[in-house]
Chain A
Amino acid sequence: RIMPVRWSRYNPSYLEPEVKKESHQKPLEELTEEEREQMELKAVRPIKAAPPSLSSSVFSDPMISKFTNMMMKSGNKVLARSLMSQTLEAIKRKQLEKYHKAPENEKETIECNPYVIFHQALKNCQPIIGLSNITRGGKTYQVPVPLTDNRKRFLAMKWLITECRENKHRRTLMPEKLSQELLQAFNNEGPVIKRKHVLHKMAEANRAYAHFRWW
């Protein structure tokens, strides 16, 4: 019987699949030593099956896919993906409107690429330091702790999504609200950035407990 588990059931000798087209089209002479060794290893070892979310197209972005997965509810990937594309379209429309209304000298400063806006907004939302509960002598303290990259990305995306789901008017749709939040985060304003600042302020207030960490 096969039981569902959370970790991978592949043998550790299986290698990850290489999806990028550029790495396969490189001629043999241009490869460095390590890449040659890597190619020889791949000729001998088995390779894992590529998951359906991994794609080699130029339009796919791992961060956008991760964000879509987090927005998805009860496995409805179609709906989540359509919401994401509508969000990106809404961002593009708003930026284009601003672009055409702006005077000539300001036209270069306006960013119209929704992917760039998305990435920059996420980067602006990522907290730099987090709080973790550490128990000492019966009392639990909130200790400031450095976070890993994955955790920062996850927190930024989670805050954005919860903000969009809870604090909106009953009639506004998700793409509209998300595009608004992303544009605000791109300009370092808005409720998500405020939440990040609140976290930083709490970490700063508790900096005396930083010695409770043991890692």
Chain B
Amino acid sequence: MAAPAYPAWVTRWVSGQWRNKKRPPALRPPRTLALADKVANRREQSTEATCITEMSVMMACWKQNDFNDAPCAEEIRTFYDCVAKAEKERKNQNEDTLSSRGNLPSSKVNKLLKRFPQITHYV
């Protein structure tokens, strides 16, 4: 016959572990409860893909017109405009200001915090 499956506390009790006062420690010594001068290294979330709506509109037009470029000239033009705008936006974007989602990369934040450290002592 296979070994009967008892719940975990039954096995623990039977082994006599609790009788020797072997319990998991209640509290480990925590780290110092104070703000540090750096932020954890978080993976920068990548920006989303640009110009997807224009691209889908253009592809719908292609499907209707059997992939000819002449009837879809308007959609193609709007797509090119959108791509040019997104490219310019990327070039002009400055990393020192907030990104489009309002977050600074963790390396920049650490540099700023190092310039203005937490004062932990009296002089």
Contact = CB atoms under 8 A, between A and B. Distances in A.
A136 to B, nearest CB: 11
B55 A213 contact: no
A212 B52 CA distance: 11
A170 interface: no
A144 B54 CA distance: 13
Nearest to B52: A210
A215 B50 contact: yes
Contacts, number: 44
Instruction: Give chain A's interface residue range (CB within 8 Å of chain B).
Output: 10 to 19
A207 B58 CA distance: 11
Interface string B58-89: 11001100011110000010010001000000
Interface stretch (A25-33, A75-83, A196-204): A196-204
Contact of B62 (A204, A214, A215): A204
In this complex, the member of B49, B51, B58, B79 whose beta carbon has the largest number of chain A beta carbons within 10 angstroms is B49
A155 interface: no
Nearest to A209: B49
A200 B67 CA distance: 8
A146 B67 contact: no
A116 interface: no
B79 A211 contact: no
A188 B68 CA distance: 9
Interface residues of B, number: 21
B63 A204 contact: yes
A129 B55 contact: yes
A63 interface: no
Contact of A207 (B56, B69, B70): B56
B46 interface: yes
Q: Which of A128, A200, A210, A212 has the most CB of B within 10 A?
A: A128
Contacts of B76: 128
Given A146-B79, A146-B83, A204-B63, A214 B49 contact: yes
A210 B67 contact: no
A123 to B, nearest CB: 9
Contacts of A207: 55-56, 59
Contact of A215 (B49, B59, B70, B79): B49
B19 interface: no
Contacts of A214: 46-49
> What 10 pairs across the A-B complex have the smallest Cβ distances?
A213-B49, A214-B46, A146-B83, A204-B59, A197-B67, A210-B52, A200-B67, A211-B49, A207-B59, A210-B49
Interface of A: 124, 128-129, 144, 146, 188, 197, 200-201, 203-204, 207, 210-215
13 contacts: A124-B69, A128-B69, A128-B76, A144-B55, A146-B79, A188-B70, A204-B63, A210-B49, A210-B56, A211-B48, A213-B49, A214-B47, A214-B48
